[in-house]
Amino acid sequence: MRFEEAKQKCEKAGQGHLLAYFDELTGEEQVNLLDQIEKLDITLLDLLKKDSKEVEKGILEPLGAVTLEEIQQEKEEYLQLGTKAIQAGKVGAVLLAGGQGTRLGLDKPKGMLNVGVNKELYLFEQLIHNLMQVVDQTGAWVPLFVMTSEKNNEDTVQFFKEKRFFGYNEEYVFFFVQQMAPSVNYEGKIYMEDKGRISTSPNGNGGWFISMANAGLLKKVKELGVEWLNVFSVDNVLQKIADPIFVGAVLKHQCVSGSKVVAKADPYEKVGVLCLEDGKPSIVEYYEMTEEMIHLRDKQGKLLYNYGVILNYLFSVEALEKIVNENLPTHIVEKKIPYMDETGNVVKPEKPNGYKFETLVLDMIHRMDNCLSFEVEREKEFAPIKNATGVDSLESARVLMKKNGIEF
Ligand code: UTP
């Protein structure tokens, strides 16, 4: 893109400041900035103009889960079905590690967080240990696709190499980089990282499948004969990956997707709840629920909107391919965004100072014809590390790691 075109594009969108320092840049920096402006999806900024920042929900109804008791009864059959699928190479795993973990405030990939006390134990390492249990149990390597972002790809790949993939078979690990989106201040002006770089951030975890496709990895998926992908987050130390019982349950119930869920700790717990929206599976956020929905109970007194998602989903590849070109809703998320101020200094804010644009994996569930809600024990499978202290922190995760006999 030439300077004149870039100037026109920016000014038309009220973003003329992006070129304010153009004359001070080196030739290479100028080319890079023009390239960034060319790729910039300016239409995202229109979303800020809408009155309502969130997408309106359709008609919601509760969705029950296969409960812990039911799973216990069917366990053998689920296990057999799942194990067979894994041994046939039909199950792959996708580690979502493109996020920036701003709440935790780490300046490296979240997976490089050392969760150990008496020894080093990195988040990535513990996740690989969890996956190794399945490999040992089934005798088959599970292909692992790792999503990173432009911001953390180099560090992540380097770390895996340095640590020799924590004992995993590196032939079965595939990295891919997700797409980026601009970050803006509360007035909708795009931030600059420095004089020659627009501030961008990973565009949410909803783009994982299209990013995998863009990276040419669908060919690999086909080559390996993978028919199911288990998507999971980087920050849950107790994450069970490619869990044969979960896989078997989804197969047995002939669903095209499945979600691990936990029963709510209390009606007001801040979790997204798996339910039905206009007859299709969907996740309703806690702030989208009415008081009536929150307290709705069945005859036994059990909450009807009871099952919270924990970012562990299983998708059929065939179902994913059908929706790969569909746009997911974009969420406008308030975050802490480092930026360059008017005097050219780089500022690292202490509190949120603007918005990022993200699509979310949970919105993919609504595109599926059905989704098996699969209950798991919170204390055994859910120890997310989101915050520096308090709820969902390293401290709370360590308590649960100890309970589960993990040495650290
Ligand atoms: P979170 O919603 O916790 O976001 O991600 P985050 O960016 O890691 O952390 P905060 O909100 O800034 O503190 C849930 C999962 O989705 C991944 C994360 O790495 C994590 O595993 N993710 C998130 C991506 O892979 N890409 C993204 O753009 C965002």
Q: What is the pLDDT of residues 316-340, one digit of tens each?
A: 999 999 999 999 999 999 999 999 9
Instruction: Flag whether pLDDT at 185 surpasses 70.
Output: yes
User: Given pLDDT bands bounded at 50, 70 and 90, which one contains residue 128?
Assistant: very high
On the question of pLDDT at 208 being above 90, the answer is yes
Nearest protein Cα to ligand 1, atom 9: 101
pLDDT attached to residue 222: 98
Residue 55 pLDDT > 90? no
DSSP string, 158-198: HHHHHTGGGGS-GGGEEEEE--EEE-EETTSPBPEEETTEE
Nearest-atom index, ligand 1, CA of 201: 28
How far, in Å, from the CA of 98 to the mean position of ligand 1?
A: 6
Question: CA of 27: how far to CAs of 20, 33, 34, 38, 195, in Å?
Answer: 15, 10, 11, 17, 13
| pTM recorded for the entire structure | 0.95
The mean pLDDT of 92-121, rounded to a whole number, is 95
Work out the average pLDDT over 176-188.
96
Taking CA atoms only, the protein residue closest to ligand 1 atom 1 is 99
Closest approach atom of ligand 1 to CA 98: 25
Q: Give the number of the atom of ligand 1 that is nearest the alpha carbon of residue 384.
A: 3
Instruction: Summarize the confidence of residues 13-25 as an average pLDDT.
Output: 95
CA of 150 to the centre of ligand 1 (A): 14
Q: pLDDT tens digit string along 263-316? A: 999 999 999 999 999 999 999 999 899 999 999 999 999 999 999 999 999 999
Say yes or no to pLDDT of 97 above 60.
yes
Tens digit of each residue's pLDDT (9 = 90 or more) over 149-175: 999 999 999 999 999 999 999 999 999
Question: Which residues, judged by CB distance below 6 Å to any ligand atom, belong to the binding site of ligand 1?
Answer: 96-104, 110, 147, 178, 202-205, 233-235, 311, 335, 358, 386
- Whether residue 54 is predicted with pLDDT greater than 70 in this model: the reply is no
The whole-number average pLDDT for the span 115-126 is 97
Ligand 1 atom with least separation from CA of 235: 21
What is the per-residue DSSP string for 243-274?
A: -HHHHHHHHHTT-SEEEEEEE-SSTT----EE
Ligand 1 center from residue 121 Cα (angstroms)? 21
The SS3 assignment for 347 reads strand
Atom 18 in ligand 1: which residue has the minimum CA distance?
Answer: 99
Interval between CA 103 and ligand 1 midpoint (Å)? 10
Question: Cα(276) to centroid of ligand 1, in Å?
Answer: 25
The residues with which 355 forms a beta bridge, in sequence order, are: 184, 334
Which residue has 């024990």 as its token pair?
377
pLDDT tier, 49 (very low <50, low <70, confident <90, very high otherwise): confident
Residue 238 predicted with pLDDT over 70: yes
Residue 56's pLDDT is what? 79
| Whether the predicted pLDDT of 53 surpasses 60 | no
Question: Nearest residue CA, atom 23 of ligand 1?
Answer: 99
Strands 339-340 and 273-277: unpaired
Q: Kindly give the distance from the C-alpha atom of residue 283 to the centroid of ligand 1, in angstroms, as a whole number.
A: 17
Residue 57 pLDDT grade (very low, low, confident, very high; cuts 50, 70, 90):
confident
User: Does residue 25 have a pLDDT over 60?
Assistant: yes
* Residue with CA closest to ligand 1 atom 28: 204
* Residue 37 pLDDT level (bands cut at 50, 70, 90): very high
Mutate to test the pocket of ligand 1, among 95, 235, 331 (most ligand atoms within 8 A of CB): 235
110 CA to middle of ligand 1, Å? Answer: 9
Predicted confidence at residue 386, as pLDDT, reads: 95
Residue 217's pLDDT is what? 98
pLDDT over 70, % of the chain: 99
d(CA 371, ligand 1 centre) in Å = 22
Q: Over 60: is that where the pLDDT of 26 sits?
A: yes
Ligand 1, atom 2: closest residue by C-alpha? 99
- Atom number in ligand 1 closest to CA 102: 12
Pocket of ligand 1, candidates 110, 177, 234, 385: which has the most ligand atoms within 8 Å of its Cβ, to mutate? 234
Pick from 66-70, 79-83, 98-102, 206-210: least confident: 98-102
Mean pLDDT over each residue of the chain, to the nearest integer:
95
Mutation probe of ligand 1 site: the residue of 44, 94, 100, 356 with most atoms within 8 A of C-beta: 100
Closest C-alpha among 222, 256, 209, 216 to residue 94: 209
pLDDT at 290: 93
Sign of CA dihedral 313, 319, 321, 327: negative
